[in-house]
């Protein structure tokens, strides 16, 4: 792809706004920007505007990308859900971009509220606002998480959807949900999360084997309490399966307590210390089955990575779990109902399946090669 050139023959400047960055925060969206950044750098000068995750100067450059701390670091979650105070503070801090030069303003959708001041910034600077959209939360999510106060949050999400000039959706299903709200004429490009397939190939299975593994931020909607209950159910039927949970998050202590309460703490290994992708791949490859009971996923990068690692995935048909669409494409994946009996039975079925020879990567996974996805993102941001 040829390098875009703006007025005066200068390289375009992309201002990327996201409140969370890798390796300080670990999740699908953080990894998306961490891995796409170096692929965008040949086409544009990339400046990332975020919270102050690091010590030292507010502005630093690493790997050809310049990072700007526009707000102090605040906890993103409170009592297991997104912090309203953090969202308000970060949204106000986004007005500081009025002082910065850029050609394209690219913003991560979460936590929604900051899209409103950034719409003002883009309008005043006469620059396009492009948003990356991971998932549509919708009124049902807000009712469940906020109770009687859900309406203002849903109105903000709806307003946020209408703020960008263009949207990059991370899955066809997310694009479909956006169009249901915005209409068929909305400018939406699909550019899913990508993976470094060469790095997956190079990773060797960790010597510490396990039956089940999951990679996930530790949050309520990830359904990890269901996974622990399923492990306990399998133990109760005489199957002493082992389980490895990789990730961290606001539900960390609660999940440790639940494993103790269920009497399976000895069989569950929590790994809150893994931040390098090569280590994630090694630990995933050391498992027989990847268990993914999440109720809400806009894409499911961890599921795609497990499939690329050749590990069969068990997930559920929860309405907002869009990762199920990836699993349905695989030969050895299982999508079951989202309740304990079905999930435990599906895990047992997957564990009983013969391992066979070293599985070949399914050809369709190549669609998600990082280089190809990066080209789609560049074209969407810098048409």
The confidence score (pLDDT) of residue 78 equals 84
* 176 domain-assigned: yes
| Contact residues for 255 (Cβ-Cβ < 8 A; gap 6+) | 218, 224, 225, 228, 245, 270
* 285 domain-assigned: yes
Do 40 and 109 belong together in one domain? yes
| 82 three-class SS | strand
Do 82 and 203 belong together in one domain? no
* 375 domain-assigned: no
Q: What is the pLDDT of residues 22-75, one digit of tens each?
A: 889 888 889 889 888 888 888 899 999 999 999 999 999 998 899 999 999 999
Q: What percent of the chain has pLDDT over 70?
A: 96
What CATH number does residue 271 fall under? 3.40.50.2000
Residue span of the structural domain in which 344 resides: 197-364
Q: Is the pLDDT score of 82 beyond 60? A: yes
Do 300 and 358 belong together in one domain? yes
* 287 domain-assigned: yes
The confidence score (pLDDT) of residue 368 equals 93
372-376: long-range contacts (C-beta < 8 A, 24 or more apart)?
A: 372/194, 373/36, 373/191, 373/192, 373/193, 373/194, 374/36, 374/39, 374/40, 374/194, 375/1, 376/189, 376/190, 376/191
Q: Is the pLDDT score of 146 beyond 90? A: no
Confidence of residue 4 (pLDDT cuts 50, 70, 90): low
CA gap 56, 26 in Å, rounded: 21
Do 162 and 249 belong together in one domain? no
Q: Is the pLDDT score of 7 beyond 50? A: no
Instruction: State the average pLDDT for the chain.
Output: 92
The pairing of strands 334-336 and 166-169 is unpaired
Do 273 and 250 belong together in one domain? yes
The confidence score (pLDDT) of residue 1 equals 47
The confidence score (pLDDT) of residue 3 equals 54
**174: β partners:** none
Do 214 and 340 belong together in one domain? yes
Q: What is the pLDDT of residues 328-381, one digit of tens each?
A: 999 999 999 999 999 999 999 999 998 755 556 788 999 999 888 888 888 888
* 111 domain-assigned: yes
Q: What is the pLDDT of residues 170-219, one digit of tens each?
A: 999 999 999 999 999 999 999 999 999 999 999 999 999 999 999 999 99
Do 13 and 150 belong together in one domain? yes
Of 157, 173, 190, which closes a domain? Answer: 190
- Closest to 367 in 3D by CA, of 201, 193, 199: 193
Asked if 302 contacts 293 with a C-beta cutoff of 8 angstroms, the reply is: no
Report the pLDDT averaged over residues 281-297.
96
CA 201 from centroid of its chain's CA atoms: 22
Of 145, 164, 190, which closes a domain? Answer: 190
Least confident piece of the model among 2-16, 83-97, 286-300: 2-16
The confidence score (pLDDT) of residue 148 equals 78
Do 121 and 262 belong together in one domain? no
Report the pLDDT averaged over residues 126-132.
96
End-to-end CA distance of the chain: 12
Do 82 and 134 belong together in one domain? yes
Choose the most confident range, by mean pLDDT, from 9-13, 258-262, 378-382: 258-262
379 — phi, psi (to 5°)? Answer: -65, -35
Do 233 and 167 belong together in one domain? no
The confidence score (pLDDT) of residue 292 equals 98
CA gap 134, 298 in Å, rounded: 5
* 359 domain-assigned: yes
* 352 domain-assigned: yes
Give me the number of domains the chain comprises: 2
* 354 domain-assigned: yes
Do 101 and 215 belong together in one domain? no
The confidence score (pLDDT) of residue 80 equals 74
Q: Is the pLDDT score of 2 beyond 60? A: no
Do 217 and 308 belong together in one domain? yes
Of 140, 161, 190, which closes a domain? Answer: 190
Least confident piece of the model among 17-21, 139-143, 251-255, 341-345: 139-143
- Closest to 53 in 3D by CA, of 63, 33, 67: 67
């Amino acid at each position: 792809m040829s390098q875009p050139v703006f007025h005066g023959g200068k390289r375009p400047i992309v201002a990327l706004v996201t409140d969370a960055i890798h390796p300080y925060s670990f999740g699908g969206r953080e990894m998306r920007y961490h891995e796409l950044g170096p692929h965008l750098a040949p086409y544009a000068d990339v400046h990332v505007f975020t919270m102050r995750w690091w010590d030292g100067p507010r502005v630093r450059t690493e790997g050809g990308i310049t990072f700007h701390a526009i707000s102090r670091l605040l906890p993103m979650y409170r009592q297991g859900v997104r912090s309203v105070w953090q969202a308000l503070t970060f949204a106000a801090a986004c007005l500081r971009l009025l002082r910065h030069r850029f050609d394209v303003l690219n913003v991560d959708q979460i936590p929604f509220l900051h899209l409103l001041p950034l719409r003002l910034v883009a309008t005043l600077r006469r620059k396009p606002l492009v948003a990356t959209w991971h998932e549509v939360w919708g009124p049902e999510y807000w009712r469940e998480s906020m109770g009687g106060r859900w309406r203002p949050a849903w109105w903000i999400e709806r307003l946020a959807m209408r703020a960008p000039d263009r949207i990059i959706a991370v899955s066809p299903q997310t694009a479909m949900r956006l169009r249901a709200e915005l209409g068929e004429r909305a400018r939406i490009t699909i550019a899913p999360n990508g993976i470094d397939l060469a790095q997956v190939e190079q990773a060797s299975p960790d010597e510490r084997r396990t039956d089940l593994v999951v990679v996930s931020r530790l949050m309520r909607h990830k359904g990890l309490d269901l996974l622990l209950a399923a492990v306990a159910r399998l133990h109760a039927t005489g199957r002493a399966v082992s389980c490895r949970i990789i990730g961290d998050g606001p539900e960390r202590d609660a999940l440790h307590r639940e494993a103790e309460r269920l009497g399976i703490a000895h069989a569950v290994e929590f790994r809150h210390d893994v931040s390098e992708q090569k280590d994630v791949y090694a630990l995933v490859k050391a498992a027989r089955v990847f268990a993914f009971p999440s109720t809400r996923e806009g894409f499911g990068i961890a599921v795609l990575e497990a499939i690329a690692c050749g590990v069969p995935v068990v997930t559920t048909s929860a309405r907002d779990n869009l990762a199920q669409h990836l699993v349905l494409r695989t030969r050895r994946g299982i999508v079951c109902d989202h309740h304990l009996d079905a999930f435990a039975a599906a895990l047992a079925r997957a564990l009983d399946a013969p391992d066979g020879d070293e599985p070949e990567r399914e050809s369709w996974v190549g669609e998600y090669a990082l280089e190809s996805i990066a080209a789609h993102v560049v074209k969407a941001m810098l048409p």
